Amino acid sequence: MWDNETGIWREKNIPVYPVLGNHDLHGKEEVALANYFQRFPNLKSSRYYSVQIANTLILALDSAQDEVSGPQGTWLANELDHVAPSVDFVFVMLHHPPYTSSSDAKMFGGGHSSRGREHELAKMLEERQAHASFRIIVFSGHVHNYERHEHGGVTYFVSGGGGAHAYPIERAPDDPFQSKEVNYHYLLVAVDHRQLKITMNRLDLSSGKAVWTQPDSVTIQVPATAASQAAGR
């Protein structure tokens, strides 16, 4: 199914930068990983990796492993210690969300709570953001809906709006995005030199026709000190 559905991406030579999720590792892990790396040979069998594109840096993590300790934690710290001066935005991508208003305790409709390991990741990222010349944005999935959170100068997106059945979220009063709906969606990230705009594009099929709306968008800029330094150059 994956090969059929994504065939047009290969035909159009559209690059894909994946992250491992819990469903990707079902069954025997060695078999699951063999299938995964067969389809993404450019990863060279690495479960986490980095890619710089123009003024953005993608740090793709494997949330089946500890993100802030062990080999992956050491690698991540080194990447963040050596972000190129040309990078304005660092995208941290992983499956399990550091923040969510969803909950494992939800009896009907499904739900997922955030985990302590991702809380530690968020703490580390926010500590670094306080002194960084670039802006950190975190993209995760796992929760089958859309969320946006702001903590410590870092913007966190939960984008689980495709695939399995989406479920409602009892959102906290201070969540930047409020909705009682299930949100099948994708995120469009438009990067400029010193700012980017992220727009949630929502699909509604309840009428039998595809209706697209954009119920949430946010513009994110580089830290003020970095922008001032760039203007002075």
Region 91-102 average pLDDT = 95
Across 97-153, the runs of DSSP E, i.e. the strands, are 135-140, 146-151
Secondary structure of 69-132 in HEC code, one letter for each residue: CHHHHHHHHHHHHCCCCCCCEEEEECCCCCCCCCCCCCCCCCCCCCCHHHHHHHHHHHHHHCCC
Give the pLDDT of residue 228: 53
Segments making up each domain of the chain, as ranges: 2-182
Residue 226: pLDDT band with limits 50, 70, 90: low
pLDDT at 152: 96
CATH architecture of structural domain 2-182:
4-Layer Sandwich (3.60)
pLDDT of residue 104: 81
pLDDT for 26-50, tens place per residue? 889 999 999 999 999 999 999 999 9
pTM: predicted TM-score of the whole model, two decimal places: 0.92
